[in-house]
Amino acid sequence: MNCGGACAVRCSRSWKPKMCLKMCMVCCGRCNCVPPAPARTPGPCAPATPT
């Protein structure tokens, strides 16, 4: 799994990319997945895939 790559793709459209990337990496480190959208949205994580 490539958390860095998956989070970079996820956060590329965020209006606060540095904060998004930081929080995404925390989430990915805990659950080995990334949330599907760049905003805080409830729901299951999408699998982190290599980019």
Provide the sign of the torsion angle of the four alpha carbons 49, 24, 39, 44, taken in this order.
positive
Cα 42-17-38 angle, rounded to 5 deg: 25
Residues 6+ apart with CB under 8 A from 30: none
pLDDT at residue number 8 = 92
What is the pTM assigned to this prediction? 0.67
Domain map (residue ranges) of the chain: 3-39
pLDDT of the residue at 34: 84
pLDDT in tens, 1-48: 789 999 999 898 888 999 999 999 998 888 888 877 655 554 555 554
| Cβ contacts of 15 within 8 Å, gap of 6 or more | none
The string of DSSP codes covering 34-48 is E-SSSS---SPPEEP
